[in-house]
Amino acid sequence: MKKIILITLAIISLQVNAQNKKIDLKEIFKFGTIYGAVNGGTSLSDEDVYSVTNGLQTSINETPYDYSILFGVRKIKRFGHEDKEAFKNGTENSFSDAATLGRWNNKVEFLFEGEYKRQEGETYLDQHHFVRYVGTDGCTEKFCWRHYIIKIEYLEDGFADIRYFEASERLTYKPTKVQNLTFNIGAAQRLAEPYGYNPLEEWLLSNGNLHYTFLAIEEGYGIVFDGQGGVEYFNPAGNSVATSTEVWEAVVIPEVLSQYTTKKRNELENTIQHSLVVGFDYYKYEKKSWLHVWGNVMPYHYDAGGEFSYHKFNKGQWLDYSTGVVFGHWVNKNLGVFIEGTYNKYWNREWHGFSAGINYRVF
């Protein structure tokens, strides 16, 4: 919630300072869309499970249906290749939303979207919020401090296990010999958990194996031997969870390790990372063919020397980057091809999406 409030204040600040006029909320949200939707569908089919421990027994693993509850507010000018939908239900996937530049200059564009969903039996909270302002007025020189991009973004993708807050300030340059191309350079600040931190590292033995039983005992699990070669394992609540070493290692220990790493990661405070960012954006649209491609590279990161610095984990500098492409072409009035997608790598996290295909119109 704090991040959403911060971004909202940034919208108002950018709009007012850039245009030197009083706050006009109606003007800020003009052409915006507020939307909400509930979506659902069938998940994985039921699976029969057989056991012969005490005679033949059959059980069914059921996966509950998928659903999502979504709410959002957006004000982003559509690119020429994007169709105008009758309603927004949250299932739309506009890869161009991730582009560095938008189609509006000297106006604030923004997106606030939150989605709570259940997918294949697992629940996630996904959020994507950003504010973008592209300033281009008041200067005719090639390099000018009034040609700039300011973008503030918060992304949380539960499925990809990535969550960060990012702000970037960049100067832009448009070469006169290449139309529709823009270069940018500036600084980026990212606030996130200390990626690269491994909570299990302190439990590794000299031979590389993990002392998982001792870790479980420290977490409150208990082990009771009956003196006749039998053993029983208990969870912190005192309930029996396994009566054999095989079940203990195959079923219980993976859950213990998962819970432990999640707990230790949540105990750490977020760290801030200052980076140099360089990027480009190219967009050309014609009725029968269009291309939008962009990319951002962070080749240098300031080392603040913290205990959980990613420099320590990576043993030096590293390369973070993001890129995207949207391409479509009608070969003739019947046949068309398209490819679009994004790819991101931040720290030791990677997430991406793509779509490609062929259309043939029958007249």
pLDDT, one tens digit per residue, over 247-267 is 899 989 999 999 999 898 888
| 19 confidence band (pLDDT: 50, 70, 90) | low
Going by C-alpha positions, the residue among 82, 11, 48, 39 that lies closest to residue 292 is: 82
Q: Looking at residue 29, what is its pLDDT?
A: 78
| 10 confidence band (pLDDT: 50, 70, 90) | low
- Residues 128/160, Cβ–Cβ less than 8 Å: no
Query: Which stretch of 74-88, 190-204, 218-232, 303-317 has the lowest confidence by average pLDDT?
Result: 74-88
Task: Report which of residues 187 and 9 the model is more confident about.
Answer: 187
- Residues 3/129, Cβ–Cβ less than 8 Å: yes
Rounded to 5°, the CA angle 355-289-84 comes to 65
Does residue 272 surpass a pLDDT of 90?
A: yes
- Residues 11/108, Cβ–Cβ less than 8 Å: yes
> What is the amino acid identity at position 219?
E
Q: Which residue has the tokens 């039983």?
A: 213
| 56 confidence band (pLDDT: 50, 70, 90) | confident
The two structure tokens encoding residue 86: 């009758």
Does residue 81 surpass a pLDDT of 70?
A: yes
Does residue 39 surpass a pLDDT of 70?
A: yes
Q: What are phi and psi of 226, to 5 degrees?
A: -90, 0
What is the average per-residue pLDDT within 319-338? 95
| 11 confidence band (pLDDT: 50, 70, 90) | low
- Residues 284/290, Cβ–Cβ less than 8 Å: yes
Q: What is residue 120's DSSP assignment?
A: T
Q: List the domain boundaries for the chain.
A: 2-195+270-286, 201-267
Q: Looking at residue 51, what is its pLDDT?
A: 67
- Residues 165/274, Cβ–Cβ less than 8 Å: no
Contacts 24+ apart (CB under 8 A), 260-267: 260/199, 260/200, 260/215, 260/219, 261/199, 261/200, 264/199, 265/193, 265/197, 265/199
Tell me the pLDDT tens digit for each residue of 125-160: 899 999 999 888 766 666 666 789 999 999 998 888
Task: Report which of residues 18 and 279 the model is more confident about.
Answer: 279
Query: pTM higher than 0.85 for the full model?
Result: no
Does residue 227 surpass a pLDDT of 90?
A: no
Q: Looking at residue 260, what is its pLDDT?
A: 93
What is the average per-residue pLDDT within 220-236? 89
Q: Looking at residue 9, what is its pLDDT?
A: 56
Query: Which stretch of 70-84, 229-243, 326-340 has the lowest confidence by average pLDDT?
Result: 70-84
